[in-house]
């Protein structure tokens, strides 16, 4: 691991898959030294191996979540679209307020 602190990086899934395969071949610690990343990142990537293999190679993030309140989100999306069609401002303040009203 490098002695200089590195800024946060975003790796593509292609790179992540390459790291996982190499770690399986030579071990986590050696792969961490080879790719100059923290060993904990390799452990995390190995847990996400199934997801990493299914997503596009150029993508960097994994946004695979299930909405807790899908009906509320659909209603809120319709409200935002209608507000924008009527040339009304939709701000980060009005969205949570309207969400609370819709949830009641």
Same-domain pairing of 42 and 75: no
Same-domain pairing of 17 and 49: yes
User: Could you tell me if residue 3 is inside a domain?
Assistant: no
pTM of this structure = 0.53
Average pLDDT (6-26) is 85
User: Could you tell me if residue 90 is inside a domain?
Assistant: yes
User: Could you tell me if residue 8 is inside a domain?
Assistant: no
- What confidence score (pLDDT) does residue 60 get? 67
What is the chain's mean pLDDT, rounded? 85
- What confidence score (pLDDT) does residue 100 get? 92
Q: Are 50 and 72 in contact (CB under 8 A)?
A: no
SS3 62: coil
Does residue 90 register a pLDDT over 80? Answer: yes
- What confidence score (pLDDT) does residue 29 get? 94
User: Could you tell me if residue 1 is inside a domain?
Assistant: no
| Integer Cα distance of 24 and 7 in angstroms | 26
User: Could you tell me if residue 59 is inside a domain?
Assistant: no
| Counted domains in the chain | 2
| Integer Cα distance of 75 and 99 in angstroms | 9
Question: pLDDT tens, 41-77?
Answer: 999 888 888 877 777 777 766 666 777 888 999 999 9
Q: Are 32 and 39 in contact (CB under 8 A)?
A: yes
Domain residues for 34? Answer: 13-54
User: Could you tell me if residue 49 is inside a domain?
Assistant: yes
Same-domain pairing of 44 and 75: no
User: Could you tell me if residue 31 is inside a domain?
Assistant: yes
Same-domain pairing of 74 and 48: no
- What confidence score (pLDDT) does residue 4 get? 62
For residues 27-53, b (16+ Cβ closer than 10 Å) or e, as one string?
A: ebeebbeebebebebbeebeeeeeebe
């Amino acid at each position: 691991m490098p002695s200089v602190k590195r800024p946060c990086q975003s790796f593509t899934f292609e790179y992540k898959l390459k790291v996982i395969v190499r770690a399986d071949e030579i071990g986590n610690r050696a792969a961490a030294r080879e790719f100059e990343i923290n060993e904990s990142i390799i452990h995390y990537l190995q847990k996400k191996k199934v997801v990493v293999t299914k997503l596009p190679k150029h993508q960097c993030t994994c946004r695979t979540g299930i909405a807790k309140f899908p009906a509320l989100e659909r209603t809120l999306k319709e409200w935002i679209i209608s507000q924008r069609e009527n040339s009304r401002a939709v701000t980060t303040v009005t969205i949570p307020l309207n969400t609370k009203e819709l949830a009641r």
